Structure 1
Amino acid sequence: MKVKNKTLLLLASMVWMIAGINIARIGFLSYQGYISIINIILSLIIFIVFWSMIFQKLVQKHTIRIKQYTTEKQYFWNFFDIKSFCIMAFMMTFGILIRNFHLMPQLFIAVFYTGLGLALVFAGASFGHKYLNFQR
Structure 2
Amino acid sequence: MISKKYLLFLAGIVWSVAGYNVLHIGLQAYAGYLSPVLFFGSALVFLFFQFMIFGRLVKKHTKRIQGYQEEKKWFWNFFDLKSFLIMAFMITGGILIRSLSLCPEWFIAFFYTGLGTSLFLAGLTFFYQFFHLRTTI
Which category of TM-score, normalised to the shorter sequence, fits these structures?
A: over 0.9
The residue that corresponds to 1:126 in the other structure is 125
Q: Which whole-Å CA distance do the structure 1 matches of 2:121 and 2:5 have between them? A: 19
* Gap regions ≥5 residues in structure 2: none
The CA deviation at 1:63 is 0.2
Q: Deviations over 1:94-129 (max 9, x none)?
A: 000000000000000000000000000000000000
TM-score by length of 1: 0.98
For 1:66 and 1:44, the matched residues in 2 are separated by 30
Give the percent of matched residue pairs that are identical in Structure 1 and Structure 2: 50
Work out the CA distance in 2 between the residues paired with 1:48 and 1:6: 29
TM-fit CA distance, 1:37: 1.1
1:129 & 1:6 partners in 2: Cα distance? Answer: 12
**In 1: Cα distance, 2:132 partner to 2:5 partner:** 9
The letter for the 1-side match of 2:63 is I
Separation (CA, whole Å) in 1 of partners of 2:72 and 2:7: 9
Match of 1:85?
Answer: 84
Residue 24 of structure 1 aligns with which residue? Answer: 23
Alignment-derived partner of residue 61 in structure 1: 60
1:68-109 CA distance string (max 9 Å, x none): 000111000000000000000000000000000000000000
Distance 1:44 1:6 in 2: 33
Q: Structure 1 counterpart of 2:117, which letter?
A: L
Q: Which runs of 4+ in 1 moved over 2 A?
A: none
- The one-letter code of the counterpart of 1:6 is K
C-alpha separation in 1, matches of 2:32 and 2:89: 30
Opposite residue 126 of structure 1, the aligned amino acid is T
Q: Secondary structure at the match of 1:28?
A: helix
The one-letter amino acid paired with 1:108 is F
**Paired amino acid for 1:61:** K
Displacement after TM superposition at 1:9 (Å): 0.1
> What is the CA–CA distance in structure 1 between the aligned matches of 2:83 and 2:40, rounded to whole Å?
29
Amino acid at match of 2:95: I
CA displacement 1:42-82 (0-9 Å, x = unmatched): 10110000000000000000000000000111000000000
Tell me which amino acid in the other structure corresponds to 1:82.
L
Q: Tell me if 1:98 matches 2:102.
A: no
Equivalenced residues, count? 135
